[in-house]
Amino acid sequence: MDLTPEQGQLFTSVSINPPNAHQMTVCYGFGCRRRAMLDFSAADRRTLTHIMASGRASAAAERMAIQKAVVWFDRRVGPMIGTDKRVANADIRAGSDATNFDCFDTTRNAASLLLVLREWGLLKHHTVDNPRYRGNPFKLQLPHNTAVIRDNTTGVKWVVDMWPTKYAHVPDVMPLDRWLNES
């Protein structure tokens, strides 16, 4: 899979292989301390293809389809690895690392899913961009990471952030500039 150096770093930094058209490593347990392999079945591919087809009309529709694909991912892996009990904004204070994702996990997982969708040719209006970081103590902003897509027509970057939502809830998708200024 063709990756930028920043995308590659998402995987090499925790010693996992990047996703491919057939499988991806699912990170959980805070900082990818726990891992599981998600092997995409023919049924998974059909489902994701159907979900993404609903976004073919426009960039806005594709972003909504991406949200649905992330919810599908959450529902697909949750029962398998125990994250169907996960909470929003999980970090070490949330307790059970065995049932939660921190923002490092959700960044890797969302970016991996987006890269698989790209590999399958299911992204028409967006490109998978480099993950982004924010954190400014002077703005009372805690450190946080997220996956990013870029609109092919406007060049606007959008975050795809499942960390602030609990299990099977729609992830945040918003312009990167807005996300960078949230606290």
Sign, CA torsion 100/106/112/113:
positive
With H, G, I as helix, E, B as strand and everything else as coil, classify residue 25. strand
pTM: 0.95
Residue 78: name the closest of 109, 112, 117, 122 by CA: 109
The predicted pLDDT at position 95 comes to: 67
> How far is CA 159 from each of CA 79, 86, 150, 172, 182, rounded to the nearest angstrom?
26, 21, 9, 7, 12
* Tokens, residue 119: 């590999």
Share above pLDDT 90 across residues of the chain, in percent, rounded to a whole number: 87
- For 53-109, write each residue's pLDDT tens digit: 999 999 999 999 999 999 999 999 999 999 999 999 887 666 677 889 999 999 999
- For 104-127, write each residue's pLDDT tens digit: 999 999 999 999 999 999 999 999
Q: Evaluate if residue 164 carries a pLDDT over 80.
A: yes
More confident residue, 131 or 89: 131
The predicted pLDDT at position 39 comes to: 98
